Amino acid sequence: MENQNLENKYLKENERIDELQRNGYKIIQSPEKFCFGMDAVLLSGFARARKGDVVLDMGTGTGIIPILMEAKTEAAHLTGLEVQEESADMARRSVSLNGLSDKIDIVTGDIKEADKLFKSASFDVITCNPPYMIGQHGIANPDAPKAIARHEVLCTLEDVVRQAAKLLKPGGNFFMVHRPFRLAEIITLMVQYKLEPKRMQLVYPYVDKEPNMVLIEGCRGGKSRMTVEKPLIVYQSPGVYMPEIYDIYGY
C-alpha cells in the first residue's frame, strides 16, 4: 500500500503506471495522449550500445527507449530529446520513478534544433522512432500529441538523418525503426548524409504477410557494406508472439 501511494505521487490525471518487465522498471503513460508501441520495443532490442557509450534518443516520447536501453546495455549515459513538454514531463517522472535520474536526462527540444542543444559529434549512439506518415492526410488536429508522434508535422525524415549525422561521433551508430514503403528514401538520405547503412531487418506481423516495419543501422563515415538480417516475425497466431518477441519484451 505504501508503495502504491509512492507511485501515485508521480501520476497526473488520466495517467497510469505500466510494468516494463526489465529490471523492475516501470513507465508512466496516458492512453488519452500516446502510449509506446511495439516499434519502440523492437528498436530497443535492435539497437546496440557498448560499455561507456553516450546515447541520444531523438523524439523520445515518454522515454521508453532510453529506459529500456539502460536496462539492456552498459551505456554510460542516455539522453531523450522530446519536443512536446507534456510527454517530456511524463518521461522525467518515469526516469525519477525508476531511480535513473543520474543515468538518463530528458531534454525538451525540437529535433530540427538538436545541433543547437548538443555539441557536434558528441554521441556514440543515436536512436530514433520518428513519425512515419508524410503530409497532413488523415490528420484531424495537427497539434494533437498522437498526430505529432505519427505524422511529419514538426520534423521530416531528412531532419532526423541530418541531425543524427551532425551529432554522432565518427564511427558512431544510428538506429532507426520506420516503414518499409519509405525504404528507398531512408537509404538514399542515410548515404547522402554519410550515415552508411550497415544492418537492416524487416519485421513481419505474420510469416505470410508483408513486412510493416524496418529496423536499420547506419555508421557515420562507414564503408559501403550492409548486412540484411533474417526476418523478424511478430506473431505465430493471433495474440501469441513468436519466441524472439517474448525475448525482446523480457517475458
Q: 32, 60 in Cβ contact below 8 A?
A: no
What b/e sequence results for 213-240 when a residue is b if at least 16 CB atoms lie within 10 Å of its CB, and e otherwise? Answer: bbbbbbbbebeeeeeeeeebbbeeeeee
The pLDDT, as a whole number, for residue 14 is: 87
| H-helix or E-strand spanning residue 41 | helix 38-46
Bridge partners for 204 per DSSP? 233
Q: Tally the C-alpha atoms within 13 A of residue 221's C-alpha that lie toward its C-beta.
A: 9
Could you list the residue range(s) of the whole structural domain that residue 220 is in? 2-249
The pLDDT, as a whole number, for residue 133 is: 65
Runs of H (alpha helix) within 100-213: 114-117, 145-150, 157-167, 183-192
Give the pLDDT confidence of 5-24 residue by residue, as tens digits.
Answer: 557 788 888 889 999 988 89
The pLDDT, as a whole number, for residue 147 is: 52
Q: Which of 122, 128, 199 minimizes the C-alpha distance to 168?
A: 122
C-alpha distance from residue 22 to each of 30, 45, 68, 97, 111 (Å): 20, 12, 7, 14, 28
Q: Which of 194, 192, 203 minimizes the C-alpha distance to 228?
A: 203
Q: What are phi and psi of 246, to 5 degrees?
A: -60, -40
Helix axes 38-46, 64-72, angle to 10 degrees: 40
Give the pLDDT confidence of 186-231 residue by residue, as tens digits.
Answer: 999 999 999 999 999 999 999 999 999 999 999 999 999 999 999 9
Q: How many domains does the chain have?
A: 1
Q: Which of 221, 210, 114, 108 minimizes the C-alpha distance to 170?
A: 221
Q: What is the C-alpha to C-alpha distance for residues 124 and 92, in angstroms, rounded to an integer?
A: 22
Give the 3-state secondary structure percentages of the chain, helix then strand then coil, rounded to 5: 35, 30, 40
Residue 107: exposure state from Cβ atoms within 10 A (0-12, 13-18, ≥19): middle
Q: Give the DSSP letter of residue 1.
A: -
CATH number at residue 71: 3.40.50.150
Low-confidence ranges of the chain (pLDDT < 70): 1-6, 132-154, 251
